[in-house]
Copies of this chain bind each other. A is one copy, B any other.
């Protein structure tokens, strides 16, 4: 009977550890991208991971590295930026997971700060030998568009996003 209880404890602990690892992974995105840490940002994704937002669709780590190094992004962080990600809701199912959160892109401008973007983020993740990594992050501006709302809903329910034609 002790064995059964220990088995159960190990399974319950595994659930918490998975969510904790995903929470930590996502919490590093903002600090890493705002410090221009390209390789470490790319390492949040799998080798063939996708980061699709309404500005650019990135496929694989080289595309993500290029985004961090781009004049656009370097302009943001050179003037001052906060990629402020909210706490994610996470649903783990075996070796895959879905997470959802809001993010704000806050920019330093004219001596003050403005909210430049507010985005709906749907994250798909996979357990890899190196730990949890993102396979697809789909982000859309919260400008009233249907897709952004569907990303939020599906993410909160632990469901996959709708078919998205990458930008």
CB of A166 within 8 A of chain B?
no
CB of A144 within 8 A of chain B?
yes
Looking at A48-56, A57-65, A113-121, A125-133, the stretch in contact with chain B turns out to be: A113-121
Interface bin, chain A: 35 or more
CB of B85 within 8 A of CB of A144, answer: no
CB of A37 within 8 A of chain B?
yes
- State A148–B113 Cα separation when bound (angstroms): 15
Instruction: Known A114-B112, A118-B82; judge A156-B37 contact (CB<8 A).
Output: yes
CB of B113 within 8 A of CB of A115, answer: yes
B residues less than 8 Å from A90 (CB atoms): 24, 27
B residues less than 8 Å from A106 (CB atoms): 104, 115, 118, 142
Interface residues in A63-122 (C-beta closer than 8 Å to B): 77-90, 100-102, 104, 106, 108, 112-118, 120
- State A143–B76 Cα separation when bound (angstroms): 10
- State A30–B148 Cα separation when bound (angstroms): 13
- State A12–B115 Cα separation when bound (angstroms): 40
Distance between A21 CB and nearest chain B CB, rounded to angstroms: 10
Closest B residue to A122 by beta carbon equals: B31
Q: Among the listed B2, B40, B101, B148, which residue makes an inter-chain contact with A27, where contact means beta carbons less than 8 Å apart?
A: B101
B residues less than 8 Å from A167 (CB atoms): none
CB of A155 within 8 A of chain B?
yes
CB of A164 within 8 A of chain B?
no
- State A101–B113 Cα separation when bound (angstroms): 17
CB of A17 within 8 A of chain B?
yes
B residues less than 8 Å from A148 (CB atoms): 80
Instruction: Known A118-B80, A142-B80; judge A27-B104 contact (CB<8 A).
Output: no
